[in-house]
Amino acid sequence: MKKIMFMMLLMTVTTAKAQFGPEPDFDAKYATELVKTGTIAPDFKMKTIDGKTFKLSQLKGKTVVLDFWASWCPDCRKDAPEVVRMQKEYAPQGVEFVGVSMDTDVAAWRKACEQFGITYTQVSELKKFKETDISKAYGVKWIPSMVVVDKDGKVALSTVLTYKVDKYLKELRPTGYQPTRERVTIDGDHGKLQAVIQKPVLQQGEQCPMVVFCHGFGGSKDGPLFELITDSLQKHGIASIRFDFNGHGESEGKFEDMTVPNEINDAKKVIEYVRDLRYVSKIALVGHSQGGVVASMTAGELGSDIAAVALMAPAAVLRDDAIRGSVMGKMFNPLDPPAYVEMWGGNKLGANYIKAAFSLPIYETAANYHGPALIIHGNADRVVPYTYGERFHQLWKGSEYVLQEYFDHGFSQNIYRTTDTVSAFLIRTLR
Q: How far apart are CA 299 and CA 295, in angstroms?
A: 6
> Which are the contacts of 234, defined by CB distance < 8 A and separation ≥ 6?
179, 180, 198, 199, 200, 240
pLDDT at 9: 33
Residues shown for the chain:
431
pLDDT at 196: 98
Identify which of 214, 213, 248 has the alpha carbon closest to the alpha carbon of residue 234.
213
pLDDT at 20: 47
Global confidence as pTM: 0.84
SS (H, E, C) the chain: CHHHHHHHHHHHHHHHHHHCCCCCCCHHHHCCCCCCCCCECCCCEEEECCCCEEEHHHHCCCCEEEEEECCCCHHHHHHHHHHHHHHHHHHHHCCEEEEEECCCCHHHHHHHHHHHCCCCEEEECCCCHHHCHHHHHHCCCCCCEEEEECCCCEEEEEECCHHHHHHHHHHHCCCCCCCCCEEEEEEECCEEEEEEEECCCCCCCCCEEEEEEECCCCCCCCCHHHHHHHHHHHHCCCEEEEECCCCCCCCCCCHHHCCHHHHHHHHHHHHHHHHCCCCEEEEEEEEECHHHHHHHHHHHHHHHHEEEEEEECCCCHHHHHHHHCEECCEECCCCCCCCEEECHHHCEEEHHHHHHHHCCCHHHHHCCCCCCEEEEEECCCCCCCCHHHHHHHHHCCCCEEEEECCCCCCCCCCHHHHHHHHHHHHHHHHC
pLDDT tens for the chain, residues 1 to 431: 333 333 333 333 333 343 444 457 899 999 999 999 999 999 999 999 999 999 999 999 999 999 999 999 999 999 999 999 999 999 999 999 999 999 999 999 999 999 999 999 999 999 999 999 999 999 999 999 999 999 999 999 999 999 999 999 999 876 666 788 999 999 998 899 999 999 999 999 999 999 999 999 999 999 999 999 999 999 999 999 999 999 999 999 999 999 999 999 999 999 999 999 999 999 999 999 999 999 999 999 999 999 999 999 999 999 999 999 988 788 999 999 999 998 877 889 999 999 999 999 999 999 999 999 999 999 999 999 999 999 999 999 999 999 999 999 999 999 999 999 999 999 999 98
| Residue 37 vs residues 24, 64, 100, 116, 212: alpha-carbon distances, Å | 19, 14, 19, 30, 41
Q: How far apart are CA 41 and CA 56, in angstroms?
A: 9
